[in-house]
Every structure is written in C-alpha cells, then in structure tokens.
Structure 1
C-alpha cells in the first residue's frame, strides 16, 4: 500500500530529549497549529524523565521503598506501647491456655 492509497503522510518534526543518564531519544511528532511536543518524555533506555535541555535534564523522582505492616506500626507506636501490648497479649494467651489445660 503506497501513499496514493493511504493519502499524504502528515508533516513530522523530531524533538530531542535527554535524561539524567545522558541518553538521547528523538521521537517524532505531527506538525500542526494545535499540536505541541510535550515538555518531558520518558527515556526508553532507563525510564528516567527526559527534557529538551541537554545540560539540565529533569531530576528523577525518588521512589520510596515498600513499607511492611510492621514498619507502619512502628511509626504509630513507641517501644513502650509495643511492650505493653505484647505483655497484654501474652497474659491473655496464658489465661486461655491455662483454662484449656486446667
């Protein structure tokens, strides 16, 4: 299928983007009155955000590591609270076991 069957190709422009690792990517965009190239583009090699200024690429966002349930509990409770809750739970367990065994 050639251009005669498909019609004329839309005019395109290539825009270069650079990431913090120095990778360059140059996607092409359609040229038009209401079409603008995005300010940032994701680098296809490393996934970092890339910008149009090679000397000042966007800084990658810092990803927070996954927090476990215990980490969230430790944020809300002090060591003393934890010790008191543990003592209370152990006492309740010993009472239950004593009732079952006794």
Structure 2
C-alpha cells in the first residue's frame, strides 16, 4: 500500500522552476535606523521610489532612512462637526427662528415628553 501513495508538494511551498535564463531586476540596499538603535537594510528595485520611513522588523517602531530622505508632511483637514454641517444648510438667523418656534411649542405643551405636560381641564381619577 505504501508503494502506491501519491506524493506531492505543498501549494506555494516549493517551485519546480530553475533560475536559468532569468534576468533579475537591478536592486539596491536601502538602510533604515529606528529610534531604538536598530539598523537594517531592505532590498529595493533601482527604479522604485524610496520611502522615507519603514517599520522596524525588530520592535515595530517607525525607522527613518539613513540617506536623509525626509517624510512628506500630510495635510490634515479639520474634522467636520455636526455644527459645521448644520451651518452649511442654515444661517444663524434661520436657526434662531426655528429655536424660538420649537421653544414656544414645547412651553405650550404641544410637543415634548408626555409626562411633563398635563392635559388642560382633565383631573386625575381617584379610586374609591
């Protein structure tokens, strides 16, 4: 039974192609140093844009290029708040008018939580 066993290779585990006739891309070694004192090199293509920072493989800190390449500063937009979006749709005068109208309705008992308003002219029933 052991003689008839099929033998195979794991997927992606081993390549059966040889390297004859293959021309590799030109590479360069790019050095990085992290704030913890670790230094390492990453092989990259000569044609690649070299990143200014890389994650340190030892500690995970952000390592900077030893070639003096500075990272680009990202322009961050300020967070849009609910108030900012509201002001895009309404003016301050419109908002004041709406507030006044809603306060009048609330004070008149037409809107709002039912437990805060008692129906006019009705009295509570008492049990006998």
User: Highest Rg: 1 or 2?
Assistant: 2
Bigger relative contact order (CA 8 A; separation at least 6): 1
Which is richer in helix?
Answer: 1
Normalising by structure 2, report the TM-score. 0.40
